[in-house]
Amino acid sequence: MLDLSTHQLLRLWSELDDAYYGKNGFGGDTAEIYVYTIQPARPITDSEAPEEMRREAVREEGLKAAKTLYEVLVLFSRMRNCLPVIDGRVLAAWLLEEPLDHRVHITIKTSD
Protein backbone atom coordinates (compact mmCIF):
# COMPACT_ATOMS: atom_id res chain seq x y z
CA MET A 1 0.00 0.00 0.00
CA LEU A 2 1.34 3.41 -0.96
CA ASP A 3 2.05 5.91 1.78
CA LEU A 4 1.11 8.87 -0.44
CA SER A 5 -1.71 11.33 -0.40
CA THR A 6 -3.77 11.67 -3.55
CA HIS A 7 -2.14 15.05 -4.13
CA GLN A 8 1.37 13.61 -3.81
CA LEU A 9 0.57 10.72 -6.16
CA LEU A 10 -0.97 12.96 -8.81
CA ARG A 11 1.95 15.38 -8.61
CA LEU A 12 4.49 12.57 -9.02
CA TRP A 13 2.49 10.95 -11.82
CA SER A 14 2.25 14.30 -13.64
CA GLU A 15 6.03 14.75 -13.44
CA LEU A 16 6.52 11.25 -14.85
CA ASP A 17 3.93 11.83 -17.58
CA ASP A 18 5.66 15.05 -18.61
CA ALA A 19 8.96 13.14 -18.84
CA TYR A 20 7.28 10.35 -20.80
CA TYR A 21 6.10 12.87 -23.37
CA GLY A 22 9.48 14.66 -23.38
CA LYS A 23 8.03 17.84 -21.91
CA ASN A 24 9.26 17.87 -18.33
CA GLY A 25 10.34 21.33 -17.21
CA PHE A 26 13.48 19.92 -15.60
CA GLY A 27 14.92 18.09 -18.60
CA GLY A 28 12.51 16.96 -21.27
CA ASP A 29 12.47 13.19 -20.71
CA THR A 30 13.86 13.56 -17.17
CA ALA A 31 12.00 14.52 -14.00
CA GLU A 32 13.67 15.79 -10.86
CA ILE A 33 11.85 14.39 -7.84
CA TYR A 34 12.62 15.66 -4.37
CA VAL A 35 12.19 12.92 -1.79
CA TYR A 36 10.30 15.10 0.68
CA THR A 37 7.49 15.41 -1.89
CA ILE A 38 6.75 11.68 -1.64
CA GLN A 39 7.00 11.40 2.14
CA PRO A 40 4.52 12.19 4.88
CA ALA A 41 5.73 14.64 7.52
CA ARG A 42 7.53 12.80 10.30
CA PRO A 43 8.34 15.08 13.27
CA ILE A 44 11.04 12.79 14.73
CA THR A 45 13.41 13.54 11.85
CA ASP A 46 13.27 17.25 12.73
CA SER A 47 13.01 16.91 16.50
CA GLU A 48 15.40 17.20 19.39
CA ALA A 49 15.61 13.40 19.63
CA PRO A 50 19.06 11.86 20.05
CA GLU A 51 21.20 11.91 16.90
CA GLU A 52 21.24 8.12 16.49
CA MET A 53 17.45 7.97 16.77
CA ARG A 54 17.05 10.73 14.17
CA ARG A 55 19.52 9.05 11.80
CA GLU A 56 17.61 5.78 12.01
CA ALA A 57 14.29 7.58 11.46
CA VAL A 58 15.70 9.35 8.39
CA ARG A 59 17.00 6.02 7.03
CA GLU A 60 13.63 4.33 7.60
CA GLU A 61 11.81 7.20 5.89
CA GLY A 62 14.26 7.01 3.00
CA LEU A 63 13.57 3.29 2.58
CA LYS A 64 9.81 3.93 2.68
CA ALA A 65 10.22 6.63 0.04
CA ALA A 66 12.26 4.24 -2.13
CA LYS A 67 9.54 1.57 -1.81
CA THR A 68 6.82 4.08 -2.66
CA LEU A 69 8.74 5.37 -5.67
CA TYR A 70 9.46 1.81 -6.81
CA GLU A 71 5.77 0.85 -6.64
CA VAL A 72 4.69 3.95 -8.57
CA LEU A 73 7.40 3.49 -11.20
CA VAL A 74 6.55 -0.19 -11.73
CA LEU A 75 2.91 0.73 -12.32
CA PHE A 76 3.85 3.69 -14.51
CA SER A 77 6.21 1.59 -16.63
CA ARG A 78 3.56 -1.09 -17.14
CA MET A 79 0.84 1.38 -18.04
CA ARG A 80 3.03 3.47 -20.36
CA ASN A 81 5.22 0.62 -21.69
CA CYS A 82 8.40 2.48 -20.85
CA LEU A 83 11.63 2.08 -18.92
CA PRO A 84 12.33 4.38 -15.96
CA VAL A 85 16.00 5.08 -15.27
CA ILE A 86 16.79 6.47 -11.82
CA ASP A 87 20.02 8.42 -11.55
CA GLY A 88 21.44 6.44 -14.46
CA ARG A 89 20.27 3.03 -13.20
CA VAL A 90 17.46 1.02 -14.74
CA LEU A 91 14.49 0.48 -12.44
CA ALA A 92 14.89 -2.78 -10.53
CA ALA A 93 14.68 -4.16 -7.00
CA TRP A 94 17.95 -2.39 -6.08
CA LEU A 95 15.80 0.67 -5.38
CA LEU A 96 14.14 -1.15 -2.46
CA GLU A 97 17.47 -1.51 -0.66
CA GLU A 98 18.79 2.03 -0.93
CA PRO A 99 17.19 4.78 1.14
CA LEU A 100 16.45 7.96 -0.76
CA ASP A 101 17.68 11.07 0.97
CA HIS A 102 17.39 14.19 -1.18
CA ARG A 103 16.36 13.93 -4.81
CA VAL A 104 16.44 11.64 -7.80
CA HIS A 105 16.47 12.19 -11.53
CA ILE A 106 14.14 9.86 -13.38
CA THR A 107 14.56 9.54 -17.12
CA ILE A 108 11.74 7.86 -19.00
CA LYS A 109 12.96 5.77 -21.93
CA THR A 110 10.37 4.91 -24.55
CA SER A 111 10.57 2.65 -27.56
CA ASP A 112 9.77 5.54 -29.94
The percent of residues in the chain predicted with pLDDT above 90, rounded, is 76
What local confidence, expressed as pLDDT, does residue 79 receive?
A: 97
What local confidence, expressed as pLDDT, does residue 46 receive?
A: 61
Amino acid identity of 65?
A
Does 109 map to a domain?
no
Does 97 map to a domain?
yes
Range of the domain at 76: 6-104
Does 111 map to a domain?
no
Does 110 map to a domain?
no
Does 76 map to a domain?
yes
Q: Sign of dihedral through CA atoms 67, 73, 74, 75?
A: positive
Mean pLDDT of the region 55-71? 93
C-alpha–C-alpha distance, residues 25 and 16, integer Å: 11
For the chain, the domain total comes to 1
The percent of residues in the chain predicted with pLDDT above 70, rounded, is 93
What local confidence, expressed as pLDDT, does residue 45 receive?
A: 59
For the full predicted model, state whether its pTM sits above 0.75.
Answer: yes
Does 94 map to a domain?
yes
Range name among 46-50, 64-68, 73-77, 101-105 with the lowest pLDDT average:
46-50
Does 71 map to a domain?
yes
Does 57 map to a domain?
yes
Mean pLDDT of the region 54-75? 93
| 69 has pLDDT over 70 | yes
